[in-house]
Amino acid sequence: MGSGGVIAAAALAGAVAVGAGGVVPDDPDEMWRDAGLRVVDRVTRADGECVSHSFGQVRELLQAVPCVALDRMLLTVTDDRGGTAVVFVAWVEFDDRDKAREFKRVEDIHGTGDITPLSGSLLRIADVPFTAHNYDSDLVDGVTVVIAEAENVAGGFTSEYLDDIAGVAVGTPRP
């Protein structure tokens, strides 16, 4: 299974279940610790619009169906073996459930574009190209779509493990 092993995968599954169930821990880093990971650094940005922070068909949709708020977060997590991943999370809020569902439908199709991740320079790391191969999303509160992507920085995280990390990230409380 790569860095983290079977125990961490079980912890990740538990953390995903907690996040999906709407139970938000008092300490947002608790879910990462439960997953065998530690948050090293994070940066967040709040934006009033989405179009300038998107590309591809996602951008085209957002031009026709504007969001009402966008929060973006970039964080690095590490395991006890020195493996490091960078994680991008975005909360895209709409004023209508149908708009949120349509955005999620387009966003979830690989290759249709995306919300632009924050620059790694904000965390004093090199920009990591996000491929959207290690991706998860969720529709929360009916009008907010949470998207998350994870990529290796150092270490041997497998693609499956990075998928699990993205699954935990969608449960991250909105800043």
pLDDT, one tens digit per residue, over 26-45 is 677 888 998 899 999 999 99
Q: What is the pLDDT of residues 139-170, one digit of tens each?
A: 999 999 999 999 999 888 999 999 999 999 99
Domain residue limits at 67: 30-170
Q: Where are the alpha helices (DSSP H) in the chain?
A: 5-20, 29-34, 56-64, 97-107, 159-169
According to the model, what pLDDT value does residue 26 have?
A: 61
Q: Is residue 2 part of a domain?
A: no
Strands 144-154 and 84-93: antiparallel
Higher pLDDT, 102 or 25: 102
Q: Is residue 19 part of a domain?
A: no
Burial-class residue 27 by CB neighbours within 10 Å (0-12, 13-18, 19+): exposed
Q: Is residue 42 part of a domain?
A: yes
Q: Is residue 106 part of a domain?
A: yes
Domain total in the chain: 1
Q: Is residue 175 part of a domain?
A: no
Q: Is residue 4 part of a domain?
A: no
Q: Is residue 5 part of a domain?
A: no
What's the rounded Cα separation, in Å, for the pair 162 and 48?
Answer: 30
Q: Is residue 6 part of a domain?
A: no
